[in-house]
Structure 1
Amino acid sequence: MKAVVIIPALNPDEKLITLVEKLKHYDLTTIIINDGSAPGYEIIFDILREKLDCVVRVHSKNMGKGVALKTGMAYAANIYPDAPGYVTADADGQHAPEDILNVARMLEENPASLILGTRDFNNVKTPFKSKWGNRITSLAYLLSTGERCPDTQTGLRGIPMSWTKELLKIPGDRYEYEMNVLLEAGKSRIPFVEVPIETIYLNENKASHFHAIKDSARIYLNILKFSLSSFVSAIVDNSVFTLLMQIAFGATSLGILEATIIARVMSGGVNYLLNKHWVFQNTDREGKAALQYAILFISQMLLSWFFVASLSSLPIHLTVLKICVDTGLFIGSYLIQKNFIFGESRKEYRLK
């Protein structure tokens, strides 16, 4: 059996009918999720169900793309357990049926990999917000996992059936779900297979239900929370450092070290509590995370002191210099905490 195509749809037009007609020609089973579309669109779903023999699952209200994908995957896993997996596609005509077929074939050849339909964003016809939105998200993904993914926002993906149980547990109701899937795959070192696909934007991509501010906030939420946690800790760190340099220590190498240690101990306690309980929501009760954080904390503190002391002869205020140095240490700290200290243990995506 071939892969099952899953298409979430909210207020679709005739382009969805045209797409499904071509997929039927390729003998691809298609599941449509009506994610709370308005009553006037029922005729579209009637045609898909009655004339094109599609399975149509219905949400009585709009639940979001993430929930719709989970609905489709749960249904497919139950009805078509022998399929190699799922191909997720969009309903707005931005995925060519030939590309959907190619992703399905690649999934059959690589049953343990995540197949990504990858677009060429150097195309002159790519809308500005799509090009730069993907670049920013790709950078955020690199910072989160240490892995490279050139098209993090692609909705055309091939997902192995063997991942179903884990995929249904991944949080996210809307567009952030797709990013969370990539984050879990990157963290668990699941291999990606990229399939070049046609870059299609209809009417400057205005038909997309992606809300730039609201949905981007969901996608970047973890990094935003980490940044806020670091910002709060940096305020504590630099405030204490500046106060100690003014009232207790001189601008000597030893004085900088003493002020750095005291300030970093205080800010480190704040940062650890925020990251453990709010950012990464780590449930470790054995003290392992605390020990690992302490090692990272000491390493960062010594590196901060070393670079500030080494560069203190420059005509830059010490506090400004310290902020610059600590900013440079920010990225490495996020990667280490995300993937090694507060991240979940790596796991195999297999049905039990």
Structure 2
Amino acid sequence: MIVLIPSYEPDQRLPQLVADLGGASPVVIVDDGSGPDYAAIFAECERRGATVLRHQVNRGKGAALKTGFAYLAQVFPGEPVVCADSDGQHSPVDILRVAAALDDSGPDMVLGARLFTGRVPLRSKVGNGITRQLFALATRRKLIDTQTGLRAYPARLIPWLLEVPGDRFEYELQLLLRATAEDQDIREVEIATIYLDENASSHFRPLHDSALIYRQLISFVGSSLLAFVLDTSVLFAGVALTGNVTGSAIAARVVSGGSNYAVNRWWVFRNGSAKAPLLPSLLRYAALAATILVANILLLHALLAATGSLLVAKVVTEGTLFAASFLIQRAVVYSCKKRAGSLHDDRIGASFRESVDASADLTAK
């Protein structure tokens, strides 16, 4: 088991963590462009036995993790990895417990889950609570801690880890979204909730980084609102012109669905630079749209009869179907549904080469 620690502008807690691990596992640290002011800290980590990889400029936590994954795949092939933060939030005991859980049960990933009890900074408690609820809404999967940086992965998952898009804090949430979409086995192990000095050493920027973390959820909401405006406009116009609710609902869904498919394929569910194949994803989207259309019409008629208001019936109908649409689009329409263990050797090699090429400014000591 290798311990991988991405680090940006650390303090003395980082070399202390290396010392506390006491050689139980090889430690690889990625200095994510901390600069010369922090060279002494990383040098001390090296003296205590860690390998330090260096980015010349700050590229983000996701990029640092990918640099570490690519290095491990080449230098320690076949070895599982446990990722930990460098700011004192993860104790050596918890790091080793999470690593042991991966060895014992063989899941696709193990998360060190904090219960957020005791003295927890308000921004951390609120932020984690919101993310946990949004994640459960989007995936129908409840996890205790969606923002934990303490995670263990088997060696077979490293090619997959290199393929998931994201360079900064959003990368770790993208991993969980992709993992749940592909029905991977995610386990959680309770760890201590540790916040030192009100988490002052954290480089997480609440507004900017939360926007990155929630990007897919927020963009899906934006795409859905656009479709809702088109759908509602066409529906009202159709009813006003023809008096036919069913025909107008069908016409509205065709117009809004076409725009929604295009926006989701090009923007919302785009996997880095790659888009879902046009014909397969279009056919899946059409099947989903047809299913939702039937549900939409049935609910619309029922609610219109119950409330007497077309607007109220429309809003309630769309709200009811929103979560189901997101889940199915992300998990089925725009996902290849491939498991990490089934990747071919040529794709594994390509993943490693692409990651190493992207880390051309990396130096290892």
Query: Is this a same-fold pair by TM over 0.5?
Result: yes
- Report which stretch shifted further, 273-282 or 222-231: 273-282
The SS at the match of 2:89 is: coil
Match of 2:280?
288
Following TM superposition, by how much is the alpha carbon of 1:344 offset from its aligned partner in structure 2, in angstroms?
1.9
Tell me, in whole angstroms, the C-alpha distance in 2 between the residues paired with 1:71 and 1:33. 8
Q: 2:198 aligns with which of 181, 199, 204?
A: 204
- Report which stretch shifted further, 139-148 or 228-237: 139-148
Tell me, in whole angstroms, the C-alpha distance in 1 between the residues paired with 2:282 and 2:151. 38
The SS at the match of 1:335 is: helix
The SS at the match of 1:196 is: strand
Q: Decide whether the 8 Å contact of 1:163 with 1:350 is kept in 2.
A: no
Q: Where does the alignment leave 5 or more consecutive residues of structure 2 unmatched?
A: 346-365
Match of 1:54?
50
Instruction: Write the letter of the residue equivalent to 2:186.
Output: F
Tell me, in whole angstroms, the C-alpha distance in 2 between the residues paired with 1:320 and 1:54. 61
Q: 1:104 aligns with which of 99, 108, 118?
A: 99
Q: 2:220 aligns with which of 226, 234, 248?
A: 226
Q: 2:261 aligns with which of 267, 272, 278?
A: 272
Pair 1:81–1:140, CA change in 2 (3 A): same
Match of 1:37?
34
Match of 1:76?
72
RMSD: 1.9
Following TM superposition, by how much is the alpha carbon of 1:334 offset from its aligned partner in structure 2, in angstroms?
0.9
The SS at the match of 2:110 is: strand
Match of 1:252?
none
2:325 paired with 1:333? yes
Tell me, in whole angstroms, the C-alpha distance in 2 between the residues paired with 1:204 and 1:137. 20
Figure out how many residues of one structure are paired with residues of the other and give that number. 340
Q: Decide whether the 8 Å contact of 1:35 with 1:63 is kept in 2.
A: yes
Pair 1:117–1:316, CA change in 2 (3 A): same
Give matches, 1:59-138, under 5 Å: 59-83=55-79, 85-121=80-116, 123-138=117-132
The SS at the match of 1:312 is: helix
Q: Decide whether the 8 Å contact of 2:108 with 2:184 is kept in 1.
A: yes
The SS at the match of 1:11 is: coil
Tell me, in whole angstroms, the C-alpha distance in 2 between the residues paired with 1:229 and 1:7. 36
Q: Which deviations, in whole Å up to 9, do the C-alpha atoms of 1:291-349 show, x marking residues without a partner?
A: 33222222222222222222224455312321221111111111111111122232233
Following TM superposition, by how much is the alpha carbon of 1:173 offset from its aligned partner in structure 2, in angstroms?
0.7
The SS at the match of 1:224 is: helix
Q: Which structure exhibits the higher relative contact order, with contacts defined as CA atoms closer than 8 Å and separated by 6 or more residues?
A: 2
Q: Decide whether the 8 Å contact of 1:5 with 1:30 is kept in 2.
A: yes
Rg larger in structure:
1
Q: Decide whether the 8 Å contact of 1:242 with 1:319 is kept in 2.
A: no
Report % sequence identity. Answer: 38
Tell me, in whole angstroms, the C-alpha distance in 2 between the residues paired with 1:264 and 1:7. 48
2:364 paired with 1:349? no
Q: Decide whether the 8 Å contact of 2:102 with 2:110 is kept in 1.
A: yes
Q: Decide whether the 8 Å contact of 2:156 with 2:340 is kept in 1.
A: no
Q: Where does the alignment leave 5 or more consecutive residues of structure 1 unmatched?
A: 250-254
Match of 2:300?
308
Q: Which deviations, in whole Å up to 9, do the C-alpha atoms of 1:237-281 show, x marking residues without a partner?
A: 1111122223331xxxxx221221222222122112222232223
Following TM superposition, by how much is the alpha carbon of 1:350 offset from its aligned partner in structure 2, in angstroms?
5.6
Instruction: Write the letter of the residue equivalent to 1:60.
Output: Q
Match of 2:248?
259
Following TM superposition, by how much is the alpha carbon of 1:112 offset from its aligned partner in structure 2, in angstroms?
4.2
Following TM superposition, by how much is the alpha carbon of 1:147 offset from its aligned partner in structure 2, in angstroms?
2.5
Tell me, in whole angstroms, the C-alpha distance in 2 between the residues paired with 1:160 and 1:82. 8
Following TM superposition, by how much is the alpha carbon of 1:170 offset from its aligned partner in structure 2, in angstroms?
1.5
Match of 2:236?
242
Tell me, in whole angstroms, the C-alpha distance in 2 between the residues paired with 1:169 and 1:348. 10
The SS at the match of 1:166 is: helix
Tell me, in whole angstroms, the C-alpha distance in 2 between the residues paired with 1:76 and 1:294. 42
Tell me, in whole angstroms, the C-alpha distance in 1 between the residues paired with 2:316 and 2:76. 55
The SS at the match of 2:277 is: coil
- TM-score under structure 2 length normalisation: 0.87
